[in-house]
Every structure is written in structure tokens, then in C-alpha cells.
Amino acid sequence: MILPRKFYARDTTTVAKELLGKELRCGSCSGRIVETEAYYGLGDPGSHAFNGPTPRSKVMWEKPGTVYTYFCYGAHWLLNLVTEAHGKPGAVLIRALEPLHGEGVMRRRRGSAQLCNGPAKLTQAMGITGKQGGSDATKGPITIHGAPPVRGIGSSGRVGLSKGGDRQLRFFIKGSAFLSK
């Protein structure tokens, strides 16, 4: 079952933790979410929403469950899901997946055995680009499907940030062989 909007309309950290174990689907490919990062708004120096809405970040103020994709370092697309109430910025970065379906397609797209163990790798493997940005994760083309809660959730500082990286807002399934590298 596709997760409903009310799943996303909650505290960003809660959503980031509860996305772990859920199934992300895009086209013929899917993967189990094994790693996420939470990003808040104006008080979070690691967030695109820190300085208020910009052409790139304004989607973070949209309705919960909106897909937020952005181009990072001029080379890679990254996937986020908008959280919190409409008008209050927040988003969860999907950092890593355990491939479930469509591995052959993912390998062709990636040209590598490392399919989804990083935010840019997973978007490339899943065929996610800016075209899906602004779409509704409760309708598609990118959807998240329910799964039982996971046990053994770890946390750490967020990865690759010059500001706000020390905050314990990265969440992962302990022991997963598919975490980002």
C-alpha cells in the first residue's frame, strides 16, 4: 500500500526514522530504504530552507509527500520527500536502498555493482532525475510503500555538510550491507 499524505505530515525526524524499511518504487525498480537524513527549515544550517525559500528550495514548503529532487555538485540528482505541515519546511533525504526489483535495469544505468549505496547512486540506478521533482509520492511516479517497522535503528551526524553535519539526523538500519559509502 502506498503511504498516505498523513505519514509525511509529521515531524521530519520521525518520518526519517519510519521511512527505514519501507519500499521505494520508481518504474520497474524498487528498493528497501536503509538510510535517511532529516532536514528542517530556518533553524537548520544544513538545510536548503535555512535562508528561506529560493527557486531550488521552495518545494520544501509544499504539501507533505511532495518529491524534492535537486542537482548536487553539478553532477548528481538527489531525492528528498517533503515533510511537516504545508507551509513549514522539512524534507528527508533518501541516502541508500537495498535493491529489491529491477536489478538488471539498475546495473545498466549504473554500470557498476554498487547500485544504491549512496544518494546519487540510488537516483541513477532508479532513473530518478529532476523530471520527477514536484510530483506527489502518494500518486507517483515515485511512491513509497508500507512495510513493518524495523528494529535496530542507528543514528549519526549527517554526511558531507560544512554546517549542521554534527546534528544526529542521519538514520540507518544497523548491520545493513547497503549503507552509503
Domains of the chain, CATH where assigned: 5-173 (3.10.300.10)
CA distances to 29, 66, 145, 154 from 174, in Å: 24, 28, 21, 6
Q: Which of 48, 21, 68 is nearest to 3 (CA)?
A: 21
Give me the pLDDT at residue 129, please: 96
Residue 170: band (very low, low, confident or very high) from pLDDT cuts 50, 70, 90 = very high
Task: Name the grid cell of 66.
Answer: 511532495
More confident residue, 31 or 181: 31
Give me the pLDDT at residue 44, please: 86
What average pLDDT does range 158-166 have in this prediction?
A: 71
Residue 164: band (very low, low, confident or very high) from pLDDT cuts 50, 70, 90 = low
| Count of positions (residues) in the chain | 181
Give me the pLDDT at residue 165, please: 60
